[in-house]
Amino acid sequence: MSVRHATREISFEPIDNGRLANLCGVLDENLRQIETGLEVDIARRSEHFSISGKVAQTKLAAELLERFYAISRRPIEVEDIQLGLIEVAHPQNEEAAAEGMPALLTKRADLRGRTPRQNHYLRAIQEHDITFGIGPAGTGKTYLAVASAVDALERDLVKRLVLVRPAVEAGERLGFLPGDLVQKVDPYLRPLYDALYDLMGFDKVTKLFERGTIEVAPLAFMRGRTLNHAFIILDEAQNTTPEQMKMFLTRIGFGSKAVVTGDVTQIDLAKHQKSGLNDAQQVLKNVRGIALHYFKSDDVVRHPLVQKIVDAYEKRDHASEREAPHE
């Protein structure tokens, strides 16, 4: 069946060159983002825009242009366009997401799930003591988990945050790392620091670290501990072994929540080692009180090319599986 293509024309009148400049961005960068994200071609002459491509995609592009022109009295940033591309692909999101989903108490007043699965993930974290967030890079697994942890701390639902990662090199051999213990593990934990700074501000995070209210630690330091009244996040969990995963999950004490995040397509363990995240999915799938939540490539909230990159690799991997000889 052939895919229908069409050309859609829209105009913004009366002519306002300032608003048109804000809409299009510097050197029409905003238009290029829309073209890349929706796989359309946009030709512009003054206030007239001509959009060519698949019928459904040209309709979405026109909706996006109209949405951003409505707020174009201020400059429109590339990030605004990229988030708009996510939301225009999920038109039901805003009403469905808002239903029963309280605002998260963080520094980011605009923080919310951008796709239905992201909102289901946030709900799962609120409703379960242990939640697994599994899916590709860029789907917000870690960021939304940290946001939920910050929200729980601000609401005084927990007394501290414990953020954990396995110290596994991503296919590289870094060799000897200088410095004390904190400096050695810091590169592995940097994404968690970045999320905290964005959600709470540098000064507040620094103070909470000094008080011990926030702790960031490598997974190896968890053995023997029991964490009560804490919000615990295990990030990059695909790089745990089954023994490490069991050890982590059994650290949870009274009044605590845990979120485990990972991408099973990016395992950096030695080839003979089994991933603790893959193992946990099988062992815990029928345990009441534990939520297993899965993201897909259309939940990616990054540059529009990231979703296409994820899709391309998934397509390659599926083709390889079909071609592999069966024993």
Report the candidate in 117, 48, 38, 51 with the shortest Cα–Cα distance to residue 82.
38
Beta-sheet strands, E only, within 126-256: 130-134, 160-165, 214-218, 230-234
Cβ atoms 52, 58 nearer than 8 A = yes
pLDDT category of residue 93 using cuts at 50, 70 and 90: very low
Task: Give the tens place of pLDDT for each residue, 43-87.
Answer: 999 999 999 999 999 999 999 999 999 999 999 988 888 888 877
pLDDT at 1 over 50: no
Segment (H or E) for 30? helix 29-38
Average pLDDT of span 99-117: 76
Chain position carrying tokens 């980011």: 108
Average pLDDT of span 17-26: 94
pLDDT for res 103: 74
Cβ atoms 192, 141 nearer than 8 A = no
Strands across the sheet with 230-234, in order? 214-218, 160-165, 230-234, 257-262, 130-134, 290-294
pLDDT for res 87: 76
Report the candidate in 8, 12, 15 with the shortest Cα–Cα distance to residue 62.
8
What one-letter code names the amino acid at 298?
A: D
15: its two tokens: 């002519």
The span from the CA of 192 to the CA of 188, in Å, is: 9
Superfamily of domain 5-88: K Homology domain, type 1 (3.30.1370.10)
301: its two tokens: 């909230």
pLDDT for res 179: 62
pLDDT at 148 over 90: yes
Superfamily of domain 101-320: P-loop containing nucleotide triphosphate hydrolases (3.40.50.300)
What pairs with residue 231 in β-bridges? 161, 257
Asked if the peptide bond before residue 325 counts as cis, ω within 30 degrees of 0, the response is no
Cβ atoms 231, 144 nearer than 8 A = no
Cβ atoms 45, 64 nearer than 8 A = no
Beta-sheet strands, E only, within 20-129: 41-45, 48-54
Q: What residue segments make up the domains of the chain, in order of their start?
A: 5-88, 101-320
Record the pTM.
0.74
The crossing angle, in degrees rounded to 10, of helices 78-88 and 29-38 is 30
Average pLDDT of span 206-210: 94
